[in-house]
Chain A
Amino acid sequence: MAARSAPSPFRDWTRRATWVDWFLLGLRVLVVAVVGYGFVSGMANPRYGQAEWFSFIVFGLSIGSIYALIALGYTMVYGILRMVNFAHGDVFMFGSYSACFALIASDRGGLLDANPALAIAIAVLACVTVSGGIAVLAERIAYRPFRKGRSLAPLISTLGLSFALAYSARGMFGAQNKAFPSIPSIDGIVTIAGFAVPKVQLFVILAAVATMIVLTLIVMKTKIGTAMRAVSEDQDAATLMGINVNRVIVFTFALGGALAGIAGLLYGLVFAQISFMMGFFLGVKGFGAAVLGGIGNIPGAMLGGLALGMVESLGPALFLEGLGIEAPYQLRDAIAYTMLVMVLIFRPSGLLGERLSKRA
């Protein structure tokens, strides 16, 4: 009797596939075809030179690194608690305001010109302290009372806190947009490989990378970082091993808040204008970046943020222009979120996969 050959994976898939699977397959093919056509068509009619493409990449990296820092706060909290802290965007906003006021004070005192490094250090201290503090308060006020329950209460609670923080900022700082001080020593242009790059953007990219390296060292090399990883792995087991879970959770909020504060400072330096509602839009982008990279996954948040920034910056020029769309940058958010949806269809757990606690 002849041995029966194993069915091919494709034949096996077609046997088990439902109409939903066929629909999703068709969608994937369509997306690839449209993006491919847009890309090829755009390349066939080049509008941009090397300098422009280089600029797009730098713009994408600078905004992407800010998204990444915000995303890290979402992903660390979600990784441990399986909870989305919707007030995180407003923690970012407060970081931006505190850095702004610190820089204004330094400017008035002449420190910004005399010793810009110290002025920046003071601004970092201000935004890290304020944002970290607010994040810890958020944990205490809006999350901890609901931690034992299995309801949507924490989610709603953080949403409410988000509005409370935004409108508190409006009350304190006014409804008008506020100019963020520029730092003279990082104004101007620097030339890299023959391409002009604004110094402030280079500074922001490097500062964000340095912050992410410090975060990685904290998470991988310190005792509290090890405890964070243990809690994110299995809360019950961590408790049995003598880890103070409450302390770890508070530290995680503080660390996420501090990163958001630094993101607020960097955002202010790049975009030079802040407002009380900025946390909402940037928070959504940061959350999107965390999901894109794989929620709960720290390297995923970094990658997701950078990917989102790059797609926003490059996408309209790369795909939309080739499709003949007028004024493609008006659709920048649309292309970013479409990409997010597509990645989740192709790979539901995000680019690097989810890493979630076994028990929240």
Chain B
Amino acid sequence: MLATTALAGVAHAVTVGPVTDDIGVIEIPEGDPIQIGGLMVLSGPDSSLGLDQSRGAEIAFADRDEMLLDHPIQYLPEDGQCSVEGGQTGATRLAANTQIVAVVGPACSSEARGGGPVLWNAGMPMAISSATAPALTAQDRPEGFQGLVRFVYNDLAAAAAAVEYVQSQGFARVATLHDGSLYAEQLVQSFQEQFKAAGGEVVASEAIAPTDTDLRPVLTRIGTGAPQILYAPIFVGASAYLVRQAGEIRSMADVPLLGSDAVLAPAFLDAAGDDAVGYRIIGIDNDPAVLGERYVEFVQKYEDEFGEPPIAGFHANGYDAASAVMAAIEKVAVTEDGTTYIGRKAFRDALMATKDMPGVSGTVSCDPHGDCSAAAFAVFEFTDSDSSSFEVGVNPKKMWP
């Protein structure tokens, strides 16, 4: 078996069999599997986030009977640990396997920052399933991000939805808190820009380190600005500390908190306990009434396969990312004498050109920068601290719109 790759950033055409490609060609002999990687957080407090979308991808492969172009599909998920370092490590392990065509994921924007350049350097595009930071698909993104194609919403839209919600509640003075991660920092930045543009006032803009456990001093500082609401799109561990400690700060005890769908997971209830009740988050709205019958069938398959309802909010995006990868492979692969050849750049271009694909999360069409999905947003409120009661729409319950 021979796989030929070249640096993705350096254009020099490679010819293998009947295929010539600018950055490399994957040759898959008859009977060998088509290998697709996965890179998403699979351990630690945010593991539900990654596991949920990885399950979505597995269902997409299962829907094809694990076969593509007469080759079996081999799915190889790696843990990105929701961090730059984890993304880099996981991507390096995947990149070492030169037979991998593409990678589904990542879940966290930090993983994309660390892992995206490593994979694209090896000619492997990523079909993003829940990394939402605007920088990943920005018009002026660096070369290392050119392999990223996003099958989830962009946080510019999430920030707009948060602004709309905050204004709808009549709040004019907000405080923000992020944890320094690419996701949280950019989402907060977008929110602040849009909120100020809409006439609101940001009275405190604070940050913590991802490993911080004592948020009381920073909450005391935020309280001096007398905000009407605190917008804190941070991950499970920090959000649980936030809800458990905010009540101890007199100036913050009555200030509503608004998180994001990064904590749309039962793990948040395990971490936050009773203080989770009443906590509101804004994020992706997978309402079957909006997404339709196909989503209902998909969720049924999910429950049949994994014995529980979806454990986070991005299972449908995982499915769509994997489906788009398979569709793009079919589009560019050339089979000769049972051997399949896939040009890496041609594949990336085909993935980026995904258009009108009927996905579980809606119709998927990519723009020139690799943003392929839109989403509806909703505000949810946790109603019970028992993690076994987690079910999006019930606990947490949809509150807005």
Contacts and interface: CB of A to CB of B under 8 A. Distances in A.
Interface string B200-243: 00000111110111101110110110000000000011001100
Interface stretch (B24-32, B128-136, B244-252): B244-252
B271 interface: yes
B270 interface: yes
Interface residues of B, number: 38
A48 interface: yes
B47 A330 contact: no
Nearest to B204: A327
B124 interface: no
A273 B217 contact: no
Nearest to A201: B248
A65 interface: no
Interface in A140-182: 175-182
A201 B250 CA distance: 14
Contact of A329 (B206, B250, B271): B206
Contacts of A178: 270-271
Interface in B251-276: 267, 270-275
Contacts of A330: 180, 206-209
Contact of B214 (A176, A177, A271): A271
Contact of A48 (B216, B224, B249): B224
B209 A271 contact: no
Which 4 A-B pairs have CB atoms at the shortest separation, nearest pair first?
A: A179-B273, A177-B271, A327-B207, A329-B218
B217 A333 contact: no
Among B208, B212, B220, B248, chain A packs the most CB atoms within 10 A around the CB of: B248
Contacts of B267: 176-177
A175 B45 contact: yes
Given A59-B216, A175-B47, A176-B270, 4 more contacts: A52-B220, A177-B240, A273-B241, A333-B211
Contact of A56 (B45, B217, B273): B217
Contacts of B273: 179-182, 272
Interface residues of A, number: 39
B97 interface: no
B217 A177 contact: no
A87 to B, nearest CB: 20
18 contacts: A48-B221, A48-B224, A51-B250, A56-B217, A176-B44, A177-B240, A179-B270, A179-B271, A179-B274, A196-B250, A271-B214, A271-B245, A272-B241, A272-B275, A273-B241, A277-B44, A326-B207, A330-B206
Contacts of A55: 216-217, 220, 249
B43 interface: yes
Among A56, A201, A271, A327, chain B packs the most CB atoms within 10 A around the CB of: A327
A317 B221 contact: yes
A95 interface: no
Contact of A273 (B44, B180, B211, B244): B244
A63 interface: yes
Interface of B: 43-45, 47, 180, 205-209, 211-214, 216-218, 220-221, 223-224, 236-237, 240-241, 244-245, 248-250, 267, 270-275, 385
A275 B238 CA distance: 12
A281 B217 contact: no
Interface in A221-280: 270-273, 275, 277-278
A270 B224 CA distance: 22
Given A176-B45, A273-B237, A330-B180, A198 B212 contact: no
A275 B213 CA distance: 11
Given A312-B214, A329-B221, A177 B209 contact: no
Nearest to A63: B214
A313 interface: yes
Nearest to B43: A175
B248 A177 contact: no
Among A55, A178, A270, A273, chain B packs the most CB atoms within 10 A around the CB of: A273
A59 B214 contact: yes
A15 interface: no
A105 B267 CA distance: 21
A316 interface: yes
A47 interface: yes
A270 B271 CA distance: 14
Contact of A271 (B205, B213, B249): B213
Nearest to A276: B44
A333 B209 contact: yes
Contacts of A278: 213
A82 interface: no
Contacts of B45: 175-177, 275
Among B44, B221, B223, B237, chain A packs the most CB atoms within 10 A around the CB of: B221
